Each structure stands twice: as structure tokens, then as C-alpha cells.
Structure 1
Amino acid sequence: MASPDNILLHLPENEEQQVRDLFVQLAERGFPVQNQTPHVTLTFSPEMKEHVAERAAELLPAVIPAQFRRVGTVVFGTKRKQTVAWLLETDEELEAVARELSRINPDGRGERWIPHLTVGLRLPREIVPDYIRALDELTSPHLRELTGIRAALWKPRIQELTVLAGASELS
């Protein structure tokens, strides 16, 4: 299955690097290598419809930069491969924008959004408890807050990134 188009939020370079450093430390402990760019997804689709991207470009500038607080760890998936993510909380304005984008996205999940940042993608379910334990040990207690400084539409099929709001260059 090809990766879907995403409307997502990128982190500033220093926060992204902290997450990437965690990926390296987890890999050094023998866990699967994580190559994904750390981000928060607002909505996704096999092929993002133009009206969704246009609405995102209208709504997102008012809520970027966005602040997130790490409030827990969640596991997504019910099959053999599972995803570990940090559960995030943000302000009501961004919540409302994300829910609207999901609602108008024909491939969305209605007015639902679970803000999260994936820290372990497609992990064999039997290693998930050990992965979470290692993640907890390695994560700096100072890494409580994350910032979405740029909203973009990412189309992996054609390797195209369209900035919708925020910094066009990440610093």
C-alpha cells in the first residue's frame, strides 16, 4: 500500500532532531529503524481532494504555530504490526480546524481527530511493550511540549510538499 497524502504539521529543527535522536537510540537497542519525518497528521487520504487542501490553506494560518503537550503513549493497530505514538493535546482552535478538515475529507473519519506523533511505525506486536519501556527510559523529561511551525500537504506518490501555513523554511 502506498503512503497516503497527508495534511500535516512539521516541528522546528531542534524538536525534530530530539525525536530523530530517540529513533537512533532505540535502533541502537535493537528495535526497528524509524525513518519517518516526525510530524503531526491532521488528515490523510489516498489522494487528497483539492477542496480539502484549499480549506486547510484558509484555516491553518490562524492556528500556526501550534503548541502540543505530550500526555501519554498510545498503540494503534489490532493486527500483527502496530504503531506506537505519543498522545498529544492542543488548543481548541486547532482541534476545531483538524475536525473540520477530517469532516470535509471524503476519506476522513468524520469529525474525529486523535492528535499524536508516531514514534514507532509498523512494530511487531510482541515487541511493543519493550519498545514503550525503552521509549520511556530514553525520552528526556524536558521533551513535554512540541510545536507545529509549518502546515503542509505532503503527497508521497509524487514527492511533492506544498506549504499551507507557517515557515516555508524550517529552522
Structure 2
Amino acid sequence: MTSPDNILLHLAEDEEQQVCEIFALLEERGFPAQQQTPHITVTFSPSMAVDVIERAAQLLPPVIPARFQRVGTVVFGTKRKQTVAWLLETSDELEIAARQISALNPDGRGSRWTPHLTMGLRLPREIVPDYVRALDEVVSPHLKELTTVRAALWRPRTRELNVLAEAGLAD
């Protein structure tokens, strides 16, 4: 299976580095390596439709940078491999924009959007409880908020990243 096209929100560089350090600490404890660049997905599709990209390019610039609050840890998946993620909340403006973008995507989930940051991708379900416990132990209690500074279309098949919105350097 080839990875789908994604409209993503990328973290500020220092926060992305903090998340990568968490991945490294968990790997040191014997958990599977996490290779993904930390991001928040708005929507994905085998091949993102042009109208979805154009609408994202209109709706996302006014809401970037965006702040997200960590509100919990969730587990996605019902089969052998599961994903551990931080459940996030953000502004009404970004929530509305993301839902509109998602609703336009014929391969999407309608107007639903569950903002989250994947912290453990495709983990064997039997290690998930220990992974969540270790994640709680290695994460600073001060890391309660994340900021996204870029919205982009990522096409993994061609390794193209098209920036749709980016916060100014003065932010």
C-alpha cells in the first residue's frame, strides 16, 4: 500500500525536536523506533483532489500559526497494530477550516476531524499499555501546548511538499 497524500500541519522546530527526543527516549527503553516527522493531519487521500488543495490554501493561512492543547492520550485501531496519539484541541476557527477541508475530500471522513499527534505508530497491541505508561514517564508535564507553524500538502509517492501556509519568522 502506498502512503496517501496528506494535508498536514507541522510543529514549530523546537517542539518538533522535543517530540523527536521523546521518540528517542522511548526507543532507548526498547520500544519500536518512530521515524515519522511529527505532524497533525487535516485530511488524506490516495490522490488529493485539486479543489481540496485550493480550499486548504484559502482557509489555512489565516489560522496559522495555530495553538493546540494536549487533552489526553488515545489509542486508534482495533486490530493487531495500534497507534498511540495525543488528543488535541485547537481554536474554533481552525476546527471549522479543517472540517470544511475534510468535507470536500471525497476520500475523507466527511466533516469529521479528530486533531491528534501520533506518538506511537503501528505498535503491536500487546505493548500499547506499557508504551502509554512509558510515554507518560518521559514527557515533561510542562509540554501541554503545541504550535503549528506550517500547513502543507505532502505527496509521499513523489516526495513533494507544497507549503499552503506558513507563519512569518517574526511570530
Question: TM-score under structure 1 normalisation?
Answer: 0.97
| Corresponding residue SS for 1:151 | strand
- Give the aligned partner of residue 48 of structure 1: 48
Deviation at 1:121?
Answer: 0.2
User: How many angstroms apart in 1 are the aligned matches of 2:48 and 2:85?
Assistant: 23
2:141 is the alignment partner of 1:147 = no
Deviation at 1:4?
Answer: 0.9
Residues 3-48 of structure 1, C-alpha deviations (whole Å, 9 max, x = no match): 1111010011100000000000000000000000000000001110
- Give the aligned partner of residue 102 of structure 2: 102
- Give the aligned partner of residue 74 of structure 1: 74
Given the superposition, is the C-alpha separation of residues 32 and 89 from structure 1 closer, same or farther in structure 2, using an over 3 Å criterion?
same
| Corresponding residue SS for 1:149 | strand
Q: Is the 8 A contact 2:66 2:90 kept in 1?
A: yes
User: How many angstroms apart in 1 are the aligned matches of 2:168 and 2:130?
Assistant: 38
User: How many angstroms apart in 2 are the aligned matches of 1:64 and 1:47?
Assistant: 24
Task: Give the aligned residue type for 2:17.
Answer: Q
User: How many angstroms apart in 2 are the aligned matches of 1:8 and 1:168?
Assistant: 18
- Give the aligned partner of residue 136 of structure 2: 136
- Give the aligned partner of residue 4 of structure 1: 4
Task: Give the aligned residue type for 1:53.
Answer: I
Residues 106-162 of structure 1, C-alpha deviations (whole Å, 9 max, x = no match): 001011000000000000000000000000000011110000100000000100000
User: How many angstroms apart in 1 are the aligned matches of 2:118 and 2:69?
Assistant: 14
User: How many angstroms apart in 2 are the aligned matches of 1:61 and 1:141?
Assistant: 30
**Structure 2 unmatched ranges of 5 or more:** none
| Corresponding residue SS for 1:130 | helix
2:111 is the alignment partner of 1:111 = yes
User: How many angstroms apart in 2 are the aligned matches of 1:47 and 1:142?
Assistant: 38
Q: Is the 8 A contact 1:150 1:168 kept in 2?
A: no
Deviation at 1:168?
Answer: 8.3
Q: Is the 8 A contact 1:75 1:83 kept in 2?
A: yes
Q: Is the 8 A contact 2:153 2:164 kept in 1?
A: yes
Q: Which runs of 4+ in 1 moved over 6 A?
A: none
Task: Give the aligned residue type for 2:84.
Answer: V
- Give the aligned partner of residue 28 of structure 2: 28
Identity of aligned residues (%): 72
Deviation at 1:167?
Answer: 4.1
| Corresponding residue SS for 1:141 | coil
Question: TM-score under structure 2 normalisation?
Answer: 0.97
User: How many angstroms apart in 1 are the aligned matches of 2:137 and 2:159?
Assistant: 35
